[in-house]
A and B are shown apart, each in its own frame.
Chain A
């Protein structure tokens, strides 16, 4: 076994030497790129990085000249205007998105390295979002030098385009936090003034001190009323304008009534009429709950942002095509419809467009899930986010930026996330009725008590009614639990895109798997190799890959992928026999690779060894005999067996539907212990199968990834689309599995059930609380401060119950 590369931990190839000196030892790097990066890091006195890092680096590549050219482009003011902020003089600030950050040591390394540049004023890298804020003096250094310095140590930095939107959100978040702080501080201090008044026996505190305490409470409550509570006023105002009552309406009425009534009591020296402590505590608890909710929501949203990053930042624009092939680097954001681009092999296509010249194969798997590259030639259209694989293409841009199909998918996801679950909608509707009823009850209480006991007493009872029965607990019950659960699921890689998904997931009784892509990886891989005794010394896999190097057949791709690290021998006279295999001359020997009978006709008869039943067997041989047998097939995911066992242990029936042949599916089903399966299923068959299950009273969870799965995904009660699947599948899935790791499925199911349980507990508590508290308050047995305590306690209970669903960090 070779020792791993010092920098990236990949194995170091034989017979190559890229030594690095590190603390009196000589370490080996795997390539010149890693060597250069490691040397730069060590030479800058940042060698500590290798001690502190917890995760290995990505393989570094030597800086290509194009990258340097692109980096230099960032100095142009026109390009910078979208993401660079100018301060006084030559000071500038930009937000960069860093790629390649794997651990805290990376953050440290980047900060230290950039800070060493002359003219850089400050660097701050956010560990959780991987964004760097850099300030520099443009007269001393340039942005390109900063980007170059980052590239030098093996990372990539891109300008963060949506920085402006982010800034607005950041501003909002900061303001919400400040409002919370103000309310919290004021609440604590007002309590300090209020508690002695509550605890001391009647008349124990002399009136002069009593009124000083009340006045102090008033002064500290004032900022809460005029600053912290503003969001409630705004929401109420918005509701009023549309002639609705929201859950903020009674909050606003309660706050303002309690505050002005206390103020009136203060000015008229009415004892037991001052409740500033209730006002500030009420506002603080409500704001706290909302802040936590918004934090959880933001975490969920970050997952979609990563999809947007698929599109490259720069394109090679052809200004004078077809007269000249000279290209100019342009920012993808500034692309115009109709302009012509050159897309080199290996690059990601930056926009939707059609091909003007060239033919190549394009990998659209990120968008369609189809892993076999699709042949494209002039006139065909291509989509943003797909990868050009074979040769250069000239494109004409048809759609850019937010009009592309990729952007469409992202929007779809965003919109689905904003979709409210049925249960929450129900609670909201219910809360609106409840509020209307409540306002009536409060008005009735006021009238009744003022007739009985005079208006002064009536006011306090009305305030108590309003505060005690605020439907906060009721309206918080469902969203708090759902938000916490959605955030937890997003962290384990399950993205909820439809509101009802969690609810339905909890009730699932049957799980239906589509074979390719869910239980298996969905692409051909080398499963097993069996080498026969043979005089040839070159490794069998290298021979096979060499013979298949110009082929794009899935089997060829599986072989070349396995042989990616080895050096391939030269091949002469390569010939392809469609449906049979390939043949060619290596070192003068005549080799064949392909179907066993095709190879045996050259090498002489041989019995194939025992190979996995579902795999395609490929033989390799020359005139001296068979060299090796390869079994190539779609490999089962590592977690498949344990996931199925867990699902069955949870009492769920598991089904397998596949378009593959009977034998392959039966073998797989037997291997995994699945009793219900159907092979050779067309999309219609799948649909009927699921409908039949549903008619039998089953709640079906369907997992799928392909275009053919889209109808059945939509038909199932709840569906989970693989994140690497087709966009159609993702659009019809209620949930998307981002990491394609089905190991998360049992966890998700369990969490869904737990969530529903917590929602039921919450709703029950809110209902019981209101049923008990409201009559007491109407009867005049609850003072406003007690009311506010009860209300706050019930909201707090609901929120902390929901917080049990949040993922605990390790």
Chain B
């Protein structure tokens, strides 16, 4: 049971860390556009261009 002395403070710390993480992600605009990325992932930026495209 003595482990609770460690675990409870640790859980509090964890919540603060997660809170900071959310704060950062909101601030950096992760929640600004919730629609676009779903489409964007379908477009391959790094596929080699077709030879004809690069003519």
Contacts and interface: CB of A to CB of B under 8 A. Distances in A.
Given A21-B55, A213-B8, A127 B36 contact: yes
Given A22-B53, A47-B52, 19 more contacts: A21-B52, A42-B52, A45-B53, A104-B42, A104-B43, A107-B40, A124-B33, A126-B33, A127-B33, A128-B35, A128-B36, A170-B32, A174-B31, A178-B27, A181-B19, A182-B19, A186-B15, A186-B19, A216-B8
Contacts of B42: 52, 104
A220 interface: yes
Nearest to A109: B43
Interface in B6-47: 8-9, 11-12, 15, 18-19, 22-23, 26-27, 29, 31-36, 39-40, 42-45, 47
A216 B33 contact: no
Contacts of B26: 174, 177-178, 181
A223 interface: yes
Nearest to B27: A174
A174 B4 CA distance: 36
Interface residues of B, number: 34
B22 A185 contact: yes
A219 interface: yes
Contacts of B52: 21-24, 42, 47
Contacts of A126: 32-33, 36
Given A126-B33, A128-B35, A181-B22, A220 B43 contact: no
Contacts of A185: 15, 18-19, 22
Interface residues of A, number: 40
B1 to A, nearest CB: 7
A691 interface: no
A473 B7 CA distance: 38
A216 B16 CA distance: 12
B52 to A, nearest CB: 5
Nearest to B9: A216
Interface in A471-525: none
A47 B19 contact: no
A223 B36 CA distance: 33
A247 interface: no
A209 B42 CA distance: 52
A209 B53 contact: no
Contacts of A127: 33, 35-36, 39
A745 interface: no
Nearest to A46: B53
Contacts of B9: 216
B26 to A, nearest CB: 5
A104 B40 contact: yes
Interface string A110-135: 00100000000000111111000000
A419 to B, nearest CB: 30
A178 B22 contact: yes
A266 interface: no
Given A126-B33, A189-B15, A181 B23 contact: yes
Interface of A: 21-24, 42-43, 45-48, 52, 104-105, 107-108, 112, 124-129, 170, 174, 177-178, 181-182, 185-186, 189, 192-193, 209, 212-213, 216, 219-220, 223
A292 to B, nearest CB: 14
Contact of A48 (B12, B31, B43): B43
Contacts of B47: 48
Contacts of B11: 189, 192, 216
A182 B42 CA distance: 33
Contacts of A189: 11-12, 15
Contact of A107 (B12, B29, B36, B50): B36
B53 A42 contact: yes
A21 B39 CA distance: 27
A461 B18 CA distance: 35
Nearest to A39: B55
Contacts of A186: 15, 19
Contacts of B54: 43, 45
B12 A219 contact: yes
Contacts of B33: 124, 126-129
A42 B55 CA distance: 8
B23 A52 contact: no
Contacts of A174: 26-27, 31
A534 B45 CA distance: 59
B3 to A, nearest CB: 11
Contact of A108 (B15, B31, B43, B49): B43
B13 to A, nearest CB: 10
A112 B45 contact: yes
Contacts of A105: 43
Nearest to B28: A174
Given A22-B52, A186-B15, A220-B15, A177 B39 contact: no
A107 B39 contact: yes
Contacts of A42: 52-53, 55
Nearest to B14: A189
Given A42-B55, A126-B33, A47 B49 contact: yes
A633 B24 CA distance: 61
A107 B39 CA distance: 10
Contacts of B43: 48, 52, 104-105, 108
Contacts of B22: 178, 181-182, 185
A183 to B, nearest CB: 10
A274 B35 CA distance: 43
A631 B31 CA distance: 55
Nearest to A170: B32
Contacts of A216: 8-9, 11-12
Contacts of A45: 49, 53-54
Contacts of B34: 128
Contacts of B12: 189, 216, 219-220
Nearest to A215: B8
Nearest to A25: B52
Given A185-B18, A213-B8, A216-B12, A23 B50 contact: yes
B23 A47 contact: no
B49 A209 contact: no
